[in-house]
Amino acid sequence: MDFGLVLQTDPPASRVVSLMKRAESNGFRYGWTFDSAVLWQEPFVIHSQILAHTTTLKVGPMVTNPGTRAWEVTASTFATLNDMFGNRTVCGIGRGDSAMRVAGRKPDTLARLGEAIGVIRDLAEGREAEVDGQPLRIPWVRNGKLPVWMAAYGPKALALAGQKADGFILQLADPYLTEWMVKAVRAAAAEAGRDPASVTVCVAAPAYVGDDLAHAREQCRWFGGMVGNHVADLVSRYGEHSDLVPEALTAYIKGRRGYDYSHHGRAGNPSTDFVPDEIVDRFCLLGPAEAHIEKLRALRELGVDQFAVYDMHDAQETTIDAYGAQIIPALDI
DSSP-assigned letters across all residues of 131-186: ETTEEE--TT--S----EEEE--SHHHHHHHHHH-SEEEES---HHHHHHHHHHHH
Of residues 167, 181, 166, the one with CA closest to residue 306: 167
CA distance 92 to 34: 10
H/E stretch holding 285 reads strand 285-287
With the CA atoms of 98, 180, 6 and 330 taken in that order, what torsion angle do they form, in degrees rounded to the nearest 10? 170
**Residue 233 scores a pLDDT above 90:** no
Share of the chain above pLDDT 70, in %: 100
Q: What is the pLDDT of residues 93-144, one digit of tens each?
A: 999 878 888 888 888 999 999 999 999 999 999 999 999 999 999 999 999 9
Q: What is the pLDDT of residues 141-162, one digit of tens each?
A: 999 999 999 999 999 999 999 9
Contact status, residue 71 vs residue 39, Cβ threshold 8 Å? no
CA distance 146 to 123: 9
Mean pLDDT score, 230-254: 81
CA distance 111 to 18: 38
Contact status, residue 101 vs residue 261, Cβ threshold 8 Å? yes
